Every structure is written in structure tokens, then in C-alpha cells.
Structure 1
Amino acid sequence: MIRKLPSGRWQVDIQPGGRGQKRVRKSFDSKAEAQRFERWAMSQHDAGSSIPQLKKDKRRFLEVLRTWYLAHGKYLRDGERRYRHLKRIAESFGNPMASKLTANDYLVYRALRIEGGISPKTCNNDLGYLNAVFNELCRTGALSYSNPFAKIRPIKIQEREMGYLDDDQIRIIFAELREKTTNPHALLVARLSLETGARWSEAEGITLSHLKPNLVTYDQTKSGKKRSVPISENLYKTVKKHLEKHGSFGTSTISAFRRAVDRSGIQLPQGQCAHILRHTFASHFVMKGGEILTLQKVLGHSSIVMTMRYAHLAPDHLDQVLQCKPKIQ
């Protein structure tokens, strides 16, 4: 049974197993928390397990994070990196008892991060990671209390302009890559990114097994899903010959590309150097009349919303404004 107490809190009062069994009483700030605990307590009884949360959950923040990592995080593509970052957050909080965490704890942490020069987007990522941990542990019954950060809103961020290179800028940067870059791989990784819209890490990660005549397959993708993109015969033969000789592109090509951009004198939007060739592919694709749904598949976006950021570049975009607006009779 769940009932509201005069204090405004909600009490769970149950006897898992029926009359004569041990009685369980616990109160919560909200009805949803009480219902969650009731379901969890009954499932523990049905599984023949004890109910340790009847005693106060004294696990520290780091211990709760480890529970999440072992049960779920280690199976994520970026699980180890995310776990390391979450541990740094917990240490910044002072590793308190996790059941005593509050929304205000995070808000203070976020304010200090912003004051220290950390971007709002990075802070929103932190919040997303924390919510993912507590939501997953609540979902699986590893916690009897609710996510303390669930009601915090991310910082609203104005959408950044998507930069791209024009034809002259492309020629200048690629001339720098051909003539002055000592890294033997950077030019071809840049070509793959520009000609297929691949993320830099996707292009850098291919091997011979990812190539077929006039086709490249990316499998180290953000979504975890493979995708294949047509390439020119010239690019196919050039990449194939290069990989036959070197085996891979290595892992430091982005630094060589950044230096080439710096030498070119071309100013890019802040934080977009690594993605500028991907944005350039998408922008030119749309400006030349490419279909937005095709672009979504080529870029590997899970949602069309992401791809629609380029829709305003379509050649008929402004014409449609004139054609489709209401007419005065």
C-alpha cells in the first residue's frame, strides 16, 4: 500500500510474501519514488533476494558509478572514456554519499565549470552522462531512490553557424597538405572526409578490408552502424595502393591537418576544424541539388533533424518562399 502522510511525504507499507512476512515501511518525497520502490521491493522478493535498501543506502558516488560501469557502461562504445570522466565529476563533488546528492550539487558544480571557462555544451554533456547513469540504475532496480538530476534543464545554446569551405579555400588547404605536410597519411584522410562526408576519425580508421572497388565502408561510426559510400575510381585506387604499403593511416593525422589550415591563413568557425571537411561535403552536396534523405544516409545521421541543418543551402530554398507564401487576392 502507498499512502500520503500528513507531512506531505509518501509512505510504502507492504509485506512481500503476504501476511506473517516481514513488514516493509519506507517514505519518499514523491509518489513516483514510492511506486518505484514498491515495484523494486516486490521484484526483489520474487527473485528470492534480500532488500538491502531497507537500510540506508550508504554507497558513495564512486561506488555507484562502478556499479553502473560493470553492469552497463563497459558495453558502450565510449564506455571507458565516459567512466573516467564521470569519476572526475564524482571527485569534484567530493565523492559524497550518492543517496544524498541533490540537483543543487550539480548546479554549483556547473556554475564553477562555467566560471572556469568550460563551455555550456560540455556542461550539458556532463549532465547527460549523469542522467544516463542514474536513469539506468533506477531502471534496473539498483537504486531505490530517484535520479537527483532528472529535473535539471540543460543550458540553452544558440545553434552555431555550420561553416564550410568554398572551392578556392579547398584548393588552398589541399595545396598545403600536398606540398608542406610531412605526415604521409593526412592528405588521403582529408580526401576521404571531403569526398564522402566522413568524420575524421571514421576516415582515419579504415583499412584495406573496408575498401571495395569504388566503395568505402565505415564501421567505426558514432551510431555504431556501418555505412558504405561510393568513391571515385581514382580515390579508390590511390587509397588502396597507400594502405597496401602502410597498412593504416595511423592516429595523428588531424594534427597535420590543423597545421595545414593554420598555414593557409583561412579562419574557420571556432571548434569546427575537425569537422570542416564533413560540413563542406554536406553543404556542397545540398547546394548542387542533392536530396536531403540521401545526405542523411551518407552522413550516417540517425535523425533527419541533424541533416536538416543543411537544408537552407538548397538552390530552390528561397524560390520556395516566393512560390509557397500566402497570396493576397
Structure 2
Amino acid sequence: MAIEQLSDGRWKVDVEPVKGKRFRKSFKTKAEALRFEATCRAKCIETPDWSPKPKDGRKLSQVIARWAVLHAHTLADGAERRVLLEAMAVELKDPVAARLKAVHYSEYRAAKLEAGSHPKTLNNRLGYMRAMFNVLRHLGDISYPNPLESVKPIKLQERELAYLSDPEIDQLFAAIHKRCKTPHVAMVAAICLATGARWGEAQGLVPERVKDGLVTFANTKGKRVRSIPIDSELEFRIQRHFKAHGLFSNCLNSFDKTLGASGIVLPAGQSSHVLRHTFASRFVMNGGNILTLQKILGHTSLAMTMRYAHLAPDHLQDAVRLGPVTDFRQFFDTWPT
């Protein structure tokens, strides 16, 4: 008998469509069992090597470990991302990955949000988890669809990109020279202001990458090498600094503390990046081309650079010149007094 009912009410299929190929599986209903039996018989006739795929019963933590083996080594932050994903698996109670539902993840996210997690942090976590499933599916390690495909990121209020005025730049460097014991802070900050570099990019410079009127950043976020022209005076001072003090030390904490004590007020979450924003803002306000700025900053997406477009001298001026109303006197001069 190919199909029989078990004592617990389930239906067991035990079918051998061709000699030597036997399939056994249990189902909740007889209809499911019949469909499976028919599928096995038909598939074995059409494709003798066919065999039903076993269910993927791996836990989420096991899938993360598999992703780490196959892909994490290709990422600059692969080890850190694995730690974060494993922590998420624990918080999600490590379900069978194939059974993870969008609603389960949404409930988890809502609880984290209520507990005080920042929406941007939660969006990053969603992105990491979705990317993990996408990679494994692309590599053929999982056959089921990405369970988080339908989960949408939380909509965020666009953050204000603050930049420093001339008096604030003077105020900042006065504080640096007064409070910082290491001479590296002032030089790294000056490089960031002059080139739009991230702090880590400027801090990672070596003498060989400062020459011929160019500074070359190799340790970039986008893994692309980029060279930025600099003034000859700045080039001279950087080389002199290296000869006198050696390579830059890790001095971001000193800068952060000095900026906090300088009296300069910035939006929450902005520190050394204000130097990069200041360069970009001044570049645009002085008439710089937005595409050139994209290359200088090393943005892979023009959308990132367009955040500065509103600072351009002629930005949206056509709204005044080409709008439906050019003479407002008709609205006011005829009103009764």
C-alpha cells in the first residue's frame, strides 16, 4: 500500500515508482499524500534521476555560519557583521531559517524600537539580514525565497548636514591647539577640511601618498583609490609633519572631545564628519560642479552628493523665474485698506 494512515492521524506515503528508488514522507492530510505520490511517479518517469528535495531544517544561526564561510571574508566588516547577525538570531530565538516570517521580524523590530533602538540602526540590521539571505540564495545554498523581502525599512527624517562657518573653523582650531596634546589632530583635521576626506582616510595617509600636488586616499569606504589636488603649501606642511612627528596616530577621540569642549553646537550624531560636510558645502556654495564633488568625496551614488545641491547659488532659482506668478502686486495693491 503506497499510502496509509498512521495512528496519530497523519498519512504516510511509501512509494517506489521505479526499482531502487523509494520515497517515504508523512503529511497532515490524505490529499497532500496523494499529490506527493503522484508527483513522485510522474517525475521519476520524466526524469529518472529526480529526487524530492529534503526540507531545509537549519536554524538561523546555522545559516548565518554558512554565510560567514561563503561570503563574510569578502567584506571589510565581515567579522563584525557576523557578530551582529548572530546576536539578532539569539534575539529572534533562533528559528528555523526557512520558517522565518516577515511578521516575526516586524514584531521583533517593533519591540526593539519600543525599547529605544534608533530607527537607523534597525534599518541597518534589516539590510544586513536581507543581504545575507540574498547572497545564500544567489549561491544556491538555500532554495527558498528571502523571508524578509517584503519587510520595508523605517522611513527616516533626513538629517541636517551641518557645516562650519569661518569663525567656527577658527574657534575649532584654537581649541585643538589649546587642548590637544598630540600634534596629529590639527593636521588630520586640516586635511579633512581641505579635501573632504573622512577622518579615517586622512588619518591613514603615509608620506608616499602625498606628492606632486596630490593626496591619494587608499583606505576608503568604497574600496576605491582616489587622488585629490591640494595646495603646495599644505603638501609642504604635511611632509614636514611626517618628518617631525611620524605617521598619524589614532586621534579621533581627542578630536571628538575637543570639538565637544569648543562650544560649537552641532546636530546629534555629527562629529568629525562636519569637516567633510564643510568642505562639500563650501565647494557647492562657491559654484563647484556636483559631479566633480561626487568624485572628490568618493560617493558611489550621486544621490548622496545631491544632499549638498540645495546650497548651490542658483539652486531652484527657476522656481522664482519660471513660476506662475512674477508680479505679486496684483495680490496686494488692490486690496481695500
**Fold shared per TM-score above 0.5:** yes
C-alpha distance 20-257 of structure 1, shift in aligned 2 (>3 A): closer
Counterparts of residues 135-146 of structure 1 (less than 5 Å): 135-146=134-145
Distance in 2 between residues matched to 1:122 and 1:55, nearest whole Å: 36
Alpha-carbon shift at residue 255 of structure 1 (Å): 1.1
CA contact (8 A) 2:204 2:219 kept: yes
Distance in 2 between residues matched to 1:171 and 1:324, nearest whole Å: 41
CA contact (8 A) 1:227 1:298 kept: yes
Distance in 1 between residues matched to 2:263 and 2:309, nearest whole Å: 29
Q: What residue number does 2:260 align with? A: 262
Alpha-carbon shift at residue 199 of structure 1 (Å): 0.9
C-alpha distance 268-20 of structure 1, shift in aligned 2 (>3 A): closer
The two structures have a TM-score, normalised by structure 1, of: 0.82
Unpaired segments ≥5 residues, structure 1: 1-5, 26-53
The answer to whether the aligner puts 1:211 opposite 2:238 as a matched pair is no
Secondary structure in 2 aligned to 1:110? Answer: helix
Q: What residue number does 1:21 align with? A: 48
The answer to whether the aligner puts 1:325 opposite 2:331 as a matched pair is no
| Superimposed CA distance per residue, residues 67-88 of structure 1 (whole angstroms, 9 cap, x where no aligned partner) | 1111112111221121121111
Distance in 2 between residues matched to 1:186 and 1:315, nearest whole Å: 33
Secondary structure in 1 aligned to 2:317? Answer: helix
Secondary structure in 2 aligned to 1:317? Answer: coil
Counterparts of residues 125-140 of structure 1 (less than 5 Å): 125-140=124-139
C-alpha distance 20-267 of structure 1, shift in aligned 2 (>3 A): closer
| Superimposed CA distance per residue, residues 148-205 of structure 1 (whole angstroms, 9 cap, x where no aligned partner) | 1110000011111111111111110011112221122111111111110011111111
Counterparts of residues 1-329 of structure 1 (less than 5 Å): 13=39, 19=46, 21-25=48-52, 54-251=53-250, 253-326=251-324
Percent identity between matched residues is: 43
C-alpha distance 280-96 of structure 1, shift in aligned 2 (>3 A): same
C-alpha distance 213-17 of structure 1, shift in aligned 2 (>3 A): farther
Distance in 2 between residues matched to 1:318 and 1:71, nearest whole Å: 48
C-alpha distance 20-170 of structure 1, shift in aligned 2 (>3 A): closer
C-alpha distance 328-198 of structure 1, shift in aligned 2 (>3 A): closer
CA contact (8 A) 2:216 2:228 kept: yes
CA contact (8 A) 1:13 1:24 kept: no
CA contact (8 A) 1:138 1:146 kept: yes
| Superimposed CA distance per residue, residues 268-326 of structure 1 (whole angstroms, 9 cap, x where no aligned partner) | 01101131000011011111111111111101111211111111111122533323335
Secondary structure in 2 aligned to 1:228? Answer: strand
Secondary structure in 2 aligned to 1:289? Answer: coil
> What RMSD over aligned residues (CA atoms) do the two structures have, in Å?
2.4
Distance in 2 between residues matched to 1:305 and 1:283, nearest whole Å: 15
CA contact (8 A) 1:196 1:231 kept: yes
The AA in structure 2 aligned to 1:300 is: G
The AA in structure 1 aligned to 2:312 is: A
CA contact (8 A) 1:13 1:23 kept: no
CA contact (8 A) 1:216 1:231 kept: yes
Distance in 2 between residues matched to 1:185 and 1:236, nearest whole Å: 15
Secondary structure in 2 aligned to 1:187? Answer: helix
Moved more, 205-214 or 150-159: 205-214
After TM superposition, where is structure 1 displaced by more than 6 Å over at least 4 residues in a row? 14-18
C-alpha distance 321-106 of structure 1, shift in aligned 2 (>3 A): same
Q: What residue number does 1:42 align with? A: none
Unpaired segments ≥5 residues, structure 2: 1-30, 328-337
Distance in 1 between residues matched to 2:217 and 2:45, nearest whole Å: 56
Alpha-carbon shift at residue 64 of structure 1 (Å): 0.8
Moved more, 14-23 or 101-110: 14-23
Q: What residue number does 1:44 align with? A: none
| Superimposed CA distance per residue, residues 118-174 of structure 1 (whole angstroms, 9 cap, x where no aligned partner) | 110110000000010001111111002111111000001111111111111111001
Distance in 1 between residues matched to 2:326 and 2:176, nearest whole Å: 56
| Superimposed CA distance per residue, residues 45-94 of structure 1 (whole angstroms, 9 cap, x where no aligned partner) | xxxxxxxxx22222121211111111112111221121121111112222
The two structures have a TM-score, normalised by structure 2, of: 0.81
